[in-house]
Amino acid sequence: MKTRWYKDAVFYQIYPRSFCDSNGDGIGDINGIISKLDYLKDLGITAVWLSPCYSSPNDDNGYDISDYRNIMSDFGTLDDWKLMLAEMHKRDIKLVMDLVVNHSSNEHFWFQESRKSKDNPYRDYYIWRKGTGKNGKKPPNNWTSRFTGSAWEYDSLTEEFYLHLFSKKQPDLNWDNPKVRKEIIDICNYWFDLGVDGFRCDVVTYVAKANGLPNGRYIPFMRGDDQFVLAENWYKYINEIAENSWNKYDSYIVGEGPGVDINNVASVIEEGKNVLDGVINFQVHHSNIVKFKAEKYKKIQSRWQNLPEKCWNTLFLENHDQPRVLPMYAKNLQLREVSAKMIAASYLLLKGTPYIYQGQEIGMTNCKFKKNEFVDIMSLNVLNVVKKFPPLVPFAVKQLNRIGRDSARTPMQWNSADNAGFTTGKPWMMVNPNYTEINVENNLNQKHSVLEFYKKLIAIKKKYNTIIKDGVYSEQFSSVKRVFCYCQTLNGKSLYVLCNFSDKVTTLPLPDISFTTSKLLITNYDMSNQFLKNTMKQEFSMKTKYIRM
């Protein structure tokens, strides 16, 4: 039976490789996570989404799994993991694991068998097809890999191609094969029986492919998308997994949902339909990646507050695949701290399950990588393609710095000691040089820090979640440029959040708030500052708020 605990949860995403290294090998690990659980508890979060920690050859940092029932040796052992789970539960923190079953690693036993011969019992665990063209050396269709190039790789051993929507070392599993679905059910149940509280399902919208694998429409860099996003059989397959595993436990199943929009979201998450409980959609992110536009941000956030009946929202701004949003959303980085706080308020008190990505709570920013400093497979693939056209390299480097995946993965900045206190050894990837200034310890020692703001905001979210969850959402002042003001109302009580995305003071008339009966819960400016206090008081009494949030 599902209690739907996730409707009151505040999530924290851990990217284990970059979180905390306990043994000096330069790689974050499970004991490192355990050592920071009190920090997380103190922050107020109630659940963790842990990016993959299973055995993996690390072509894509754990998103290529070679053993679904074991822990990556870089991170520790299954016993370490069990201890971590127990320590989380002791602190009332739930654990949601990453479930990466659109594909496995090519080093998984299933694939090793599958490629051996066409009649191997595991052949149909993956998607093999004959090539096209005169000598059969052309890919079976026009689908492209998310990591550049064709989505098909030729294997000379059996003279067929296999499908990989990501890297060559991430062959797609064949969900049309009932045996594969049974394996997935067993894997989920294995972890549930060990005590996990749910799964974040990696690229779950891609798992079923259109019958006959037809060519896709041409969308630049995205050929084939329309043939594998929520393909016809998706619903049937997901129902089967939900019925035989997910729904048997008090679980939370959230899917990474490329291709999900407001029109199809209900089919993917509607309660009672044996589908997912939530979906991480990229609408906010995609519309702001090229250039942040507050008006778009407001529109999309508000749109997703009015989901169809029986649908539950997911709120996030950062994760391990996107650059940090702070430098993109904040007009003026001299206002880094107040901006980081304002950005937090702009989403954390919306209706839905919020996620905070490691480092976001201290206002970490992006890093500038030189050509040979990138480590992510997607960045490396892009550089590999452009190296044939040398004049394009600087452009590619610039773009990767702007939208690549490396920035958000730099090690967590704990203190101002060497390597930001992340490791005593050589970190597996570059540490952002600004760690001497931006780090947890500095935040803890500083009044009105970004971290302190996150703590307070999370506490507010927990205290007023009934209003947020069950209240009526409305956006106010939507025509005031760069101001996002939202309000949740329940039984005559309203919770207002006012955010000013510009770097200028904006004055707003707030006619329907009675200041004798309302209370300022939190502000991103230091209210011990006498000038501000007086100004606020004055403005309050004029029923106009002087807001810089």
- Least gap, CB of 108 to Ca ion (angstroms): 24
202 is catalytic: yes
Using CB under 6 A as the binding criterion, the count of chain residues that bind ligand GLC stands at: 9
> Taken in order 348, 246, 15, 405, is the CA torsion positive or negative?
negative
Sheet of 152-155: strand order equals 128-129, 160-163, 152-155
Q: Name residues contacting Ca ion, limited to 7-46 (CB under 5 A).
A: 21, 23, 25, 27, 29
- Least gap, CB of 136 to Ca ion (angstroms): 46
> At 132, phi and psi to the nearest 5?
-115, -175
User: Would you say 257 and 296 are in contact if contact means Cβ atoms under 8 Å apart?
Assistant: no
- Least gap, CB of 365 to ligand GLC (angstroms): 20
Among 21, 29, 60, 337, binds ligand GLC (CB under 6 A): 60
Which is closer to ligand GLC, CB of 80 or CB of 202? 202
Q: Which does 25 bind (CB under 5 to 8 A by kind): ligand GLC, Ca ion, none?
A: Ca ion
Q: Which residue is nearest to ligand GLC (CB)?
A: 63
- Give the DSSP letter string of 3-69: --GGGG--EEEE-GGGT--SSSSSS--HHHHHHTHHHHHHHT--EEEEPP-EE---TTTTSS-SEEE
Which is closer to Ca ion, CB of 27 or CB of 231? 27
256 interacts with ligand GLC by CB under 6 A: yes
CA 27 to centroid of chain Cα atoms: 21
CB within 8 Å of 260: residues ≥ 6 apart: 205, 230, 268, 279, 281
> What is the distance between the alpha carbons of residues 216 and 208, in angstroms, rounded to a whole number?
14
197 interacts with ligand GLC by CB under 6 A: no
> What is the distance between the alpha carbons of residues 357 and 131, in angstroms, rounded to a whole number?
42
Q: Which does 202 bind (CB under 5 to 8 A by kind): Ca ion, ligand GLC, none?
A: ligand GLC
256 is catalytic: yes
> What is the distance between the alpha carbons of residues 267 and 43, in angstroms, rounded to a whole number?
35
Which is closer to Ca ion, CB of 403 or CB of 417? 417
80 interacts with Ca ion by CB under 5 A: no
**Pairing of the two strands 152-155 and 160-163:** antiparallel
Strand partners, 48: 12, 95
Draw the binding track, 470-489, toward ligand GLC (x: CB under 6 A; -: no contact). --------------------
Among 153, 277, 321, 406, binds ligand GLC (CB under 6 A): 321
Among 125, 143, 166, 316, binds ligand GLC (CB under 6 A): 166
Positions marked active-site: 202, 256
Q: Which residues bind ligand GLC (CB under 6 A)?
A: 60, 63, 100, 166, 202-203, 256, 320-321
